[in-house]
Amino acid sequence: MLTKRIFDFVAALSGLLILSPILILIAAVVKLDSPGPVFFRQERVGIHGSVFRIYKFRTMTLNAEAKGQLTIGEDERVTRVGHALRRFKLDELPQLINVILGDMSLVGPRPEVVRYVAKYPKALRDAVLSVRPGITDWASIEFKEENAILGKSHDPERSYVETIMPIKLDYYVRYVHERSFVMDLKIIGHTLLAVASLHRKRDP
């Protein structure tokens, strides 16, 4: 969809330019808060199974992935600044770079790591990977507090694979079949409302 790609590129570039002072400030705070790089980069599976590196502001201590890829509850690996960035989803902003590069779209199924994509049933995997992954989608809104949900599980890995992931896949496939420019705008709007609701919910 050429129109979607043009919209993604223009919106992402505009977002980076408008938010550049905030992004620079966040980068400085991340660097000062704990040792390590500003950005967290991780291999994710994109359109047609291509692998790319996703960008996020680093919210965890160095080598945190060695203890697992899922973030669970009040994860001790998350830095002080990382908690604030995750709370308001600000750690996701560098993915605008991925959108400009063409790895991602503003809206689409969230890109997963290789080992979880390998667990997708083939028919669903083919459908999900037929479009560019996105920064946000209906599943992201539904599971905006996924970390807290997993934190209540006795076996977070199993809960994710057997309970959460199938629900996400259902959202992804439905999006692939029903996607439109109007739907994308609606998802973006709902995403902003969801982030705002988290802010109101956690404020005293």
Q: Which of residues 190 and 63 earns the better pLDDT score? A: 190
pLDDT band at 203 (very low <50, low <70, confident <90, very high): very low
Name every residue whose Cβ is closer than 8 Å to that of residue 57 and which is 6 or more positions away in sequence.
26, 27, 30, 38, 39, 40, 85, 90, 91, 93, 94
Mean pLDDT on 31-48: 94
Q: What is the 3-state secondary structure of 106-165?
A: EECCCCCCHHHHCCCCHHHHHHHCCCCCEEECHHHHHCCCHHHHHHCCCCHHHHHHHHHH
| pLDDT of 204 above 50 | no
| pLDDT of 2 above 70 | yes
Lowest mean pLDDT among 40-44, 50-54, 174-178, 196-200: 196-200
| pLDDT of 78 above 70 | yes
Q: What's this model's pTM, rounded to 2 decimal places?
A: 0.88
Structure confidence by residue, pLDDT tens digits, 87-146:
888 999 999 999 999 999 999 999 999 999 999 999 999 999 999 999 999 999 998 878
Structure confidence by residue, pLDDT tens digits, 146-198:
877 787 788 888 889 999 999 999 999 999 999 999 999 999 999 999 887 76
Q: Give the model's pLDDT for residue 71.
A: 67
